[in-house]
Amino acid sequence: MSVEVKNVTKKFGSFIALDNVNLKVESGELVALLGPSGSGKTTLLRTIAGLEFPDPGTAQILFYGEDVTLIPASERKAGFAFQHYALFRHMSVFENIAFGLRVRPKTTRPPEDEIRQRVNKLLQLIQLEPLAKRYPSQLSGGQRQRVALARALAVEPKVLLLDEPFGALDAKVRKELRRWLRQLHDEIHITTLFVTHDQEEALEVSDRVAILRAGKIEQIGSPEEIYDNPASPFVYDFLGNVNLFSGRVHEGSVIIGDTEFSVPETAGETETSTVAFVRPHDIRITREANGDKTFAALVVRSNAAGPVANLELARVNGGVQFTAQLSKEEFQQLQLKTGERVFVELKNVKVFNEDFSI
Amino acid sequence: MAQKLFKSKTRVLPGFRLTLGYTLLYLSLIVLIPLAAVFWKTSLLTWPQFVQVITSPQALAAYRLSFGASLLAALINSVFGLIVAWVLVRYNFFGKKFVDALVDLPFALPTAVAGITLATLYAPNGWIGQFFEPLGIKISFTRLGVLVALTFIGLPFIVRTVQPILEDFEPEIEEAAASLGANRWQVFWRIIFPTLTPALITGFALAFARALGEYGSVVFISSNIPMKTQIVPLLIMTKLEQFDYPGATALAVVMLVFSFVLLLTINVLQWWANRYNATNLS
Amino acid sequence: MTPVATTLHLPRAGTQRRSTSEPPWVRWLLITIALLFLTLFLFVPLIAVFAQGLNKGIGFYLKTLSDPLAWSAIKLTLIAAGISVPLNCVFGVCAAWAIAKFDFRGKNILLTLIDLPFSISPVISGMIYVLVFGAQGWLGLYMNADKPWFPWLAQWLNVHDFHIIFAVPGIVLATIFVTFPFVARELIPLMQAQGRTEEEAARVLGASGWQTFWRVTLPNIKWGLIYGVVLCNARAMGEFGAVSVVSGHIRGETNTIPLHVEILYNEYNFTGAFAVASVLAFLALITLALKLWAERKNAALHAASQ
């Protein structure tokens, strides 16, 4: 176990940023802390780095079993990359990366040529060797982020902590850089935690995702686990687009209007009103009715720009609007027009027992 | 206690106690304790004595001159300072950078130098005074001279408060107003001027406060005749030279109280000026 | 008083758009008014200082400046500035560190108190030290008390005839007071704008407090610090009112350069007064040049950064 967070609570005035958080991270894992703004994800990361301290109590933070709760940031050996990079603007790229080595006490400071070697190796790793002499103001956003990462790695940290590493970049650079981060991680295998509010990013890059809400970890698991089995409506909603249908639970299925959809996990519950969650890509559209497995809807709007087609539909019975996502081919085969009547089948219907609010 | 220890141990950046402690100590020794002496010395006067000193005819005449001339100088600077700032930000002309740099001269030039120079220039036979002499206008050694000196020392305040606001003014806003049919004069009065008002008022208050306390430049250009051309700081100086310390401190208290009020006003004004920006901080 | 005018602001390239500018005659009228006003109040006085100083020839000019009394005034001015500038510099850095890098209650009150010396008349600034250290002040009371605390101190002061007021220490103290806020006022907004993340980054990388300050904070505030020091020094060397109150006006002993100018002027040695004044005016020009240079460097350092 490389990082362990136990019973950490952190209040700012009356605002509870972290509410008794517990988290365990395995060695070499890449974990995403995902949540909306104000959920406490950055506070948690800063607390692990030693930039914030938990409220006194039973809180504990362990690095490889060693209690570092009261050890200041400068001695914790956690590499931290700041959201806006916090590069030293008066130092070149090279000097920025070398900083952590140069400030070591004489006894543990590597000799000058070793510092050079190590920095050059890192420059190679981040593919910025030709820019070693540049200043931060002369770099692009993506380059600055890579320098910030190299600077954090230079001190050979036990843990790498990244605060919204791609937050300030434009969409294209973001995608490139997160693939690069995954590759880098596969190469050097350092335990890494990163904060993000972008679910796509979290699901694509990380080994495990921890979803935070109002200072608590709502769910933690592999990307597949949390996507396929969200623990709460909040997680379900946060991970992607969602359609809500109100209906009734009845003997292992959910009845929406006159149509019955099988939801095995509700077996044993009877006759309660409920809300069913369905992802847009789990909605099938057909021209023909399929007995009591489908219900009728009207096409309100369609948009086929991009790799998939998005449909906006309204139930004939009640007029509730929802969206569906089709592949391009399906969309072309169906040749749908606005105002046309179609039949809708729902797959992977999800029902949560408590708390229907999102 | 444990809580406290925890707190001091867990600040990320060091040196808070040391630097704040030193700041407070140095501030107390250099500024606060000596200032307290003014109130101590004044407290040796009885209330009627105090009132008598601060409302003597000589004091009243000095207030009138100090406040009147300072107010007028600040007004002159508001008008011309706004024009100078506008010209420096909006137009290009030969030597602009040089002029821009020289606007700060009154901050850098010792007041005594300004005093003797202005006195000589605006004297009846001086370079500038000679043009006013035939018109029957005397500047040096009159109240007008006091006004000239106070205008000089207050000059940079308006320019330097207004300039950054003008520089940051987004051209899109003016373009929007123009596209909505406003003519240039309307754009200035309805769009630009209201934006500049807080800075203008702040600059005015700063120039006014500076002029009220000014001594070095005025003492040379004024004839310093009691009841006529004597400003408050000079009256205090005269009393000090006569070893009338209680009298001097009583007048100083009046000036200090007024300065504090002005300082408070300036701070409130700056808070008010920034009120539009406050919501941007999230 | 908040010295708005002494705050660094980053100049921006002026962009002119045709749709929003004035007709040429308005422009030229405004430029003319502005230049005329500045000519009357700035340019002519500046030229006049040098012209008046040199009007009896270069020989007289040099003779005035090489006068031993002038030299002793220069020496005292250098001493006063040499003590007050470093002290206020250390104070400024400390105050800015505490105020900009930490959150605590009463910060606004502290800021206002630091500004106080700017809003006090120089005459009052000098007077307060007379009230503390003068014969009729607290020190006088102490030395004349029947049973003073620390009798050895009172005795030592009496025996050595140690004076603060109307002597060099008073001049130094008054100079410290009037230049008190310069460096602090310059650094506080600069360090507040820079935030704490660079320092935090240095700490996470293992830097100690001192290393963080010397290697990260100081290089960032370097030009602002120089800017503050330049202004502080200009005021220290040019202060007249406050120093005049605490100086004994003893030639060759308690005269600073501005006081020397006054004495020459009051003796109707106008050319001599202007000759000495021209030294101060030259110093003012150097100050403006240095200030501009520091402003540019600071803007360059902080331009395009994030």
Instruction: Show the beta-strand stretches assigned E in chain A.
Output: 3-12, 15-25, 30-34, 60-63, 66-67, 78-81, 159-163, 191-196, 208-213, 216-221, 243-250, 253-256, 259-262, 270-278, 283-286, 295-303, 308-315, 321-327, 341-346, 350-351
Option in A51, A56, A70 nearest B12 (CB): A51
**Strand A159-163 to strand A350-351: parallel, antiparallel, or no bridges (unpaired)?**
unpaired
- Nearest chain C Cα to A160, which residue? C204
Task: Give the tens place of pLDDT for each residue, B205-255.
Answer: 999 999 999 999 999 999 888 889 999 999 999 999 898 898 999 999 999
Chain A environment of C301 (Cβ under 8 Å): 89-90
Please give the pLDDT value at position C288: 94
Return the number of other C-beta atoms located less than 10 Å from residue C116's C-beta. Answer: 21
Per the listing, tokens 């769009």 go with B191
How far apart CA A180 and CA A171 sit, in angstroms, is 14
Residue A9 Cα distances to A66, A216, C276, angstroms: 20, 10, 68
Chain C environment of A63 (Cβ under 8 Å): none
What tokens appear for C272 in the block? 């001599």
Whether C204 sits inside 8 A of A103 (CB atoms) is: no
pLDDT tier for residue B8 given thresholds of 50, 70 and 90? very low
Write the Ramachandran bin of B16: left for phi over 0, alpha for psi from -120 to 50, otherwise beta: alpha
Which of A12, A84, A97, A99 to mutate: most C Cβ within 10 Å? A99
Residue C96 Cα distances to A197, A352, B26, B261, C197, angstroms: 35, 55, 14, 25, 16
Least confident of A248-262, A334-348, B55-69, C246-260: A248-262
* Cα diameter, chain B: 82
Q: How far apart are the first and last CA of chain A?
A: 33
CB contact burial A21-41 (16+ within 10 A = b; e otherwise): bebebeeebbbbbbbeeebbb
Q: Is residue C148 part of a domain?
A: no
Angle at alpha carbon of residue A133, lines to A131 and A138, rounded to 5°: 65
**C197 touching chain A per CB within 8 A:** yes
Coil, strand or helix at A217? strand
The yes-or-no verdict on residue C242 having pLDDT over 80 is yes
Whether B10 sits inside 8 A of A51 (CB atoms) is: no
Q: Which alpha helices (DSSP H) does chain B contain, by range?
A: 2-9, 16-27, 33-43, 47-54, 57-90, 96-102, 105-108, 111-121, 129-132, 143-168, 171-179, 184-186, 193-213, 216-221, 232-241, 245-273
Of all residues in chain B, the percent with pLDDT exceeding 70 is 92
Chain A environment of B16 (Cβ under 8 Å): none
What tokens appear for C72 in the block? 């002793």
Q: Counting beta carbons within 10 angstroms of the beta carbon of residue A12, is it exposed (0 to 12), middle (13 to 18) or buried (19 or more)? A: exposed
Whether B245 sits inside 8 A of C21 (CB atoms) is: no
Least confident of A22-26, B38-42, C159-163: C159-163
Chain B environment of C50 (Cβ under 8 Å): none
Number of domains chain C contains: 1
Task: Give the tens place of pLDDT for each residue, C37-56.
Answer: 999 999 999 999 999 999 89
Bridge partners for A344 per DSSP: A285, A295
How far apart CA A58 and CA C210 sit, in angstroms, is 32
Please give the pLDDT value at position B274: 67
Write the Ramachandran bin of A339: left for phi over 0, alpha for psi from -120 to 50, otherwise beta: left
Q: Is residue C136 part of a domain?
A: no
Chain A environment of B3 (Cβ under 8 Å): 56
Chain C environment of B203 (Cβ under 8 Å): 4
Chain B environment of C212 (Cβ under 8 Å): 13-14
**C153 touching chain B per CB within 8 A:** no
Whether A56 sits inside 8 A of B6 (CB atoms) is: yes
**Strand A308-315 to strand A295-303: parallel, antiparallel, or no bridges (unpaired)?**
antiparallel
Question: Chain A residues within 8 A (CB-CB) of chain C?
Answer: 49-51, 72-80, 82, 84-91, 99-100, 102-104, 136-138, 144, 151-152, 154-155
Task: Tell how far CA B25 is from the center of its chain.
Answer: 28
Whether A137 sits inside 8 A of C305 (CB atoms) is: yes
Whether B13 sits inside 8 A of C101 (CB atoms) is: yes
What tokens appear for C78 in the block? 């250098």
Quick one: which of A168, A153, A154, A206 has its CA closest to A85?
A168
Chain B environment of A72 (Cβ under 8 Å): 9-10, 12
Q: How far does the CA of residue B9 sit from the closest CA of chain A (Å)?
A: 8
Q: Is residue C14 part of a domain?
A: no
Q: How far does the CA of residue B260 sit from the closest CA of chain A (Å)?
A: 33
Q: How far does the CA of residue A156 sit from the closest CA of chain B (Å)?
A: 21
Whether A104 sits inside 8 A of C306 (CB atoms) is: no
Sign of CA dihedral B85, B90, B94, B100: positive
Residue C257 Cα distances to B28, B218, C68, C78, C199, angstroms: 29, 18, 12, 9, 43
Coil, strand or helix at B91? coil
Kindly report the pTM of this predicted structure.
0.81
Whether C206 sits inside 8 A of A100 (CB atoms) is: yes
Whether B12 sits inside 8 A of A56 (CB atoms) is: no
Chain C environment of B259 (Cβ under 8 Å): 1, 119-121
Please name the chains neighbouring C, where neighbouring means 3+ C-beta pairs under 8 angstroms. A, B
Whether C197 sits inside 8 A of A100 (CB atoms) is: no
How far apart CA B184 and CA C17 sit, in angstroms, is 13
Please give the pLDDT value at position A320: 84
Q: Is residue C271 part of a domain?
A: yes
pLDDT in tens, chain A (358 residues): 789 999 999 998 889 999 999 999 999 999 999 999 989 999 999 999 988 889 988 899 999 999 998 888 888 888 899 888 888 888 899 999 999 898 888 888 999 999 999 999 999 989 999 999 998 888 998 999 999 999 999 988 989 999 998 887 888 888 888 888 999 899 889 999 999 999 989 999 999 999 999 999 999 999 999 998 898 889 998 888 888 888 888 777 888 877 888 777 766 666 677 888 889 988 888 888 877 778 888 899 988 888 888 889 998 877 788 999 988 888 888 888 888 888 888 888 888 865 444 4
- Nearest chain C Cα to B94, which residue? C31
Chain B environment of A53 (Cβ under 8 Å): 6, 10
Interface contacts A/C by beta carbons within 8 Å: 82
**C299 touching chain A per CB within 8 A:** no
Option in C27, C91, C121 nearest B91 (CB): C27
CB A80 within 8 A of CB A192: no
Option in C204, C215, C302 nearest A80 (CB): C204
Q: Is residue C69 part of a domain?
A: yes
How far apart CA C24 and CA B91 sit, in angstroms, is 10
Option in B3, B9, B12 nearest A70 (CB): B9
Chain C environment of A89 (Cβ under 8 Å): 198, 220, 301-302, 305-306
Quick one: which of A153, A149, A211, A151 has its CA closest to A180?
A149
Q: Is residue C205 part of a domain?
A: yes
Please give the pLDDT value at position C299: 86
Q: Is residue C16 part of a domain?
A: no
Mean pLDDT of chain B: 87
**C105 touching chain A per CB within 8 A:** no
Chain C environment of B260 (Cβ under 8 Å): 119
Coil, strand or helix at C269? coil
Across the beta sheet with A243-250, what order do the strands follow? A259-262, A253-256, A243-250, A270-278, A350-351
Question: Chain B residues within 8 A (CB-CB) of chain A?
Answer: 2-3, 6, 9-10, 12
Q: Which domain holds residue C101?
A: 54-120+178-305
Coil, strand or helix at C217? helix
Whether C306 sits inside 8 A of A136 (CB atoms) is: yes
Task: Give the tens place of pLDDT for each residue, A179-195.
Answer: 889 998 998 899 999 99
Please give the pLDDT value at position A269: 67
Please give the pLDDT value at position C4: 42
**C206 touching chain A per CB within 8 A:** yes
Please name the chains neighbouring A, where neighbouring means 3+ C-beta pairs under 8 angstroms. B, C
Whether A72 sits inside 8 A of B6 (CB atoms) is: no
Q: How far does the CA of residue B12 sit from the closest CA of chain A (Å)?
A: 6
Q: Is residue C6 part of a domain?
A: no
- Nearest chain C Cα to A78, which residue? C204
**C110 touching chain B per CB within 8 A:** yes
CB A217 within 8 A of CB A210: yes
Q: Counting beta carbons within 10 angstroms of the beta carbon of residue B203, is it exposed (0 to 12), middle (13 to 18) or buried (19 or more)? A: buried
Question: Which residues 6+ apart lie within 8 Å of B197 measured at CB?
Answer: none
DSSP single-letter state for residue A292: G
What CATH number did the domain enclosing C71 receive?
A: 1.10.3720.10
**C304 touching chain A per CB within 8 A:** yes
Whether B117 sits inside 8 A of C231 (CB atoms) is: no
**Strand A321-327 to strand A308-315: parallel, antiparallel, or no bridges (unpaired)?**
antiparallel
* Cα diameter, chain A: 80
